[in-house]
Amino acid sequence: MNWDEMISSEEDVVRPTHVEVDLGCLAGNLAAIRAYVGGAKVMTVLKANAYGHGLIPVAHHMVKHGADYLGVAFLEEGVLLRKAGISAPILVLGGIAGEQIPLFLKYDLTLTAPSVEKLLLIDSAAATLGKLARVHLKVDTGMERIGIHYYHAEALLKESLKCKHVQVEGIFSHFANADAADLSPARLQLERFQSVLSFYEKHSLPMPLRHIANSAGILQLPESHLDMVRPGILLYGVYPSRECLTSVPVTPALKWKSRVAYFKVVQAGDPVSYGSTWQSDHAVRVVTIPVGYGDGYFRALSNRSQIIVRGVRYPVVGRVCMDQIMVNLDQGTAYNGDEVILLGASEGVSISAADLADWAGTIPYEVLTNINTRVPRLYCGE
């Protein structure tokens, strides 16, 4: 069941636990990023179900609002976008297997060429099919993930000039530490990338589309904007880390909501949930909310996180279950059916992705991308 396609209005939501995505916020964030980076193109990164916001609806909205390029992690994501009628350029940022190349070409997806070997495989497959493959060369300047090492990159660039069935549209790298307070490692990566790019100037060759700036690079290293930037988490209104500059004003587009499903009074000394990890020394009011780690609400949030009911933050108590959590109101008030904010704001009180990440001992990226697809997505705004 594809909830992203099913859910179009509040009446359609079959679970009290759901996500609301404000498409207007996404459009506003894209506009703010575009204004900040000046003449650079913007590739909106949509991997991992558009960071939990819903791949297809977000892609359509980004294209509608002028995204120059779309970025995904895997072939399958690119194919889904094409089948959904997206015709904008799509770069698959991740590594590829040789047998996948014909599908890239069939669906007009731009390939990442991270090595001489992969480049030659792409050229050969394109020749066999009588097509021209569009590629972006990937240079590893310090991430040690995929991409040819910067000190060997000239071999890839030279080989690309010999390929008859490959169009080198772009060349890129990726920052490992641009979200930190100390930007010296990121600046070193940029310096290495610029050194690789000097190959084109030395040989009087046309410069491919250059890009290295992720969300953190956009915010903290304006000199890295080059020809195109690749906002991921920033596009969704969340900053990459608490150390990062907030130089682009963005608004979170996602709210995660539920409702009170059950109310009870728990007596002093009676433990709550699996493992009996929490109990009160006095009688308290406890409500049950139908969300759990099966929805992406981490078990690590047990006895750590908070939710919002009626404009007040209350603590989650006991272990997070697969489908339910318990919340201690103490002597506070809530009724069955009351709205619960798991992520977002209500009545001037908020819980951010960074808050949930801190409580769970992780990062905002994981908070957003782990919201399970069984949680319905509801879209609003333009």
Active site residues: 47, 274
CB atoms near residue 373 (< 10 Å): 15
Q: Taking Cα atoms as reference points, which of 177, 181, 180, 159 lies closest to residue 168?
A: 159
CA 289 to chain centre: 26
Instruction: Quote the CA–CA distance of 79 and 104 in Å, as a whole number.
Output: 8
- Residue in the structure block whose two tokens are 């930037």: 229
Residues 6+ apart with CB under 8 A from 39: none
Contact 79, 269 (CB under 8 A): no
Phi-psi region of 49 (alpha: psi -120 to 50; beta: other; left: phi over 0): left
Question: What sign does the dihedral 75-77-79-81 (CA atoms) show?
Answer: negative
Nearest-10 crossing angle of helices 55-64, 75-83:
70
Instruction: Quote the CA–CA distance of 357 and 9 in Å, as a whole number.
Output: 29
One-character DSSP codes across 68-134: SEEEESSHHHHHHHHHTT--S-EEE-S---GGGHHHHHHTTPBEEE-SHHHHHHHHHHHHHHT--EE
Instruction: Quote the CA–CA distance of 197 and 218 in Å, as a whole number.
Output: 20
Instruction: Quote the CA–CA distance of 364 and 236 in Å, as a whole number.
Output: 11
Say how many CA atoms lie within 13 Å of 54 toward its Cβ: 30
Instruction: Quote the CA–CA distance of 380 and 293 in Å, as a whole number.
Output: 26
Instruction: Quote the CA–CA distance of 339 and 314 in Å, as a whole number.
Output: 13
